[in-house]
């Protein structure tokens, strides 16, 4: 990690937006993305006892993907059609994977979801990381391909090898590095992990203009 570049990004952001994401302009953006509402919806929808009802979990997965401002508008209807078109056994496997991802063996859950997503060519970083980042907003990370690639290049995260198809090792290492980076800057830049990666994304364009 290039700590100097991270500190430059921090300086730029706090100079432009004093108090970080508490700044009125940033707070307005946060309201637009309805992050708090999405977090509440996800945490309420995916409590462990709810996983007894496969149909209910699938409906909430679709709802969260559909309502999220972080997921591409092109992916939303495709995801809904994909989930509704799965066979009963595949639906059970998808729900079982999400349960593991949120409440059990994360790697096992991640890979189980990935296997189901591959069936419909829906194995997308955004789709596999969206529910966890709302469920545990401080610990998990949202992987947006353009942002991830830009962050890796700009901040010289040499241990990370991005690939278009999701794989657990990258997610685990990307999450670890992002959480390390959060500890190096002012807490106002990371009210949650999604906001922090948003800060990094915004800083990339600004730093390239300097």
Is 85 among the domain residues? yes
Residue 29 in any domain: the answer is no
Is 86 a member of any domain?
yes
Residue 127 and residue 41 share a domain: yes
Do both 155 and 176 map to the same domain? Answer: yes
Domain annotation covers residue 27 = no
- CB–CB of 161/105 below 8 Å? no
Residue 158: its pLDDT value, please? 87
Residue 32 resides in a domain: no
Domain boundary among 135, 158, 191: 135
Q: Examine residue 78 and state whether it is found in any structural domain, yes or no.
A: yes
pLDDT value for 209: 56
Q: Report pLDDT for 31.
A: 80
Q: How many domains does the chain have?
A: 2
Which residues form the domain of 15? Answer: 3-21+139-209
pLDDT at 208: 62
Whether residues 112 and 41 share a domain: the answer is: yes
pTM above 0.85, yes or no: yes
| Residues 166, 123 contacting (CB under 8 angstroms) | yes
Query: Does some domain include residue 41?
Result: yes
Do 44 and 94 belong together in one domain? yes
- Domain end position, chosen among 104, 120, 135: 135
The whole-number mean pLDDT for each consecutive block of 10 residues of the chain, a chain of 210 residues, reads: 92 91 86 88 96 96 95 94 96 97 96 95 95 96 93 91 95 96 93 91 74
Report the distance separating Cα 90 and Cα 122, nearest Å.
14
**Could you give the angle at the alpha carbon of 40 between the alpha carbons of 140 and 139, nearest 5°?**
15
Total Cβ atoms within 10 A of residue 77: 11
Asked whether the beta carbons of 173 and 159 are under 8 A apart, the reply is yes
Q: How far is CA 79 from the centre of its chain?
A: 16
The H-assigned helical ranges of the chain are: 3-16, 24-33, 35-45, 54-67, 75-84, 88-103, 106-119, 125-135, 145-154, 168-183, 193-209
What are the distances in angstroms from CA 57 to CA 35, 94, 100, 141, 148? 20, 10, 13, 21, 28
Q: What is the pLDDT of residues 52-108, one digit of tens each?
A: 999 999 999 999 999 999 999 999 999 999 999 999 999 999 999 999 999 999 999
Q: Is 190 found in the same domain as 171?
A: yes
Place of tokens 């657990």: 168
The reply to whether 26 falls in a domain is: no
């Amino acid at each position: 990690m290039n700590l100097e570049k991270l500190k430059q990004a921090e300086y730029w952001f706090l100079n432009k937006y004093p108090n970080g994401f508490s700044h009125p302009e940033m707070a307005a953006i946060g309201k637009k993305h309805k992050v708090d509402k999405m977090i509440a919806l996800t945490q309420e929808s995916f409590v462990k006892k709810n996983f007894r009802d496969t149909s209910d979990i699938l409906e909430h997965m679709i709802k969260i993907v559909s309502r999220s401002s972080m997921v591409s508008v092109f992916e939303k209807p495709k995801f809904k059609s994909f989930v509704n078109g799965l066979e009963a056994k595949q639906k059970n496997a998808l729900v079982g994977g999400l349960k593991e991802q949120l409440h059990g063996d994360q790697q096992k859950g991640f890979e189980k979801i990935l296997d189901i997503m591959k069936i419909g060519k829906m194995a997308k970083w955004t789709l596999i990381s969206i529910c966890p980042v709302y469920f545990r907003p401080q610990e998990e990370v949202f992987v947006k391909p353009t942002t991830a690639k830009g962050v890796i290049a700009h901040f010289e995260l040499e241990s990370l090898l991005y690939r278009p198809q999701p794989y657990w090792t990258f997610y685990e290492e990307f999450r670890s590095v992002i959480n390390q980076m959060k500890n190096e800057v002012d807490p106002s830049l990371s009210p949650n992990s999604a906001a922090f990666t948003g800060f990094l994304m915004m800083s990339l364009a600004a730093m390239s203009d300097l």
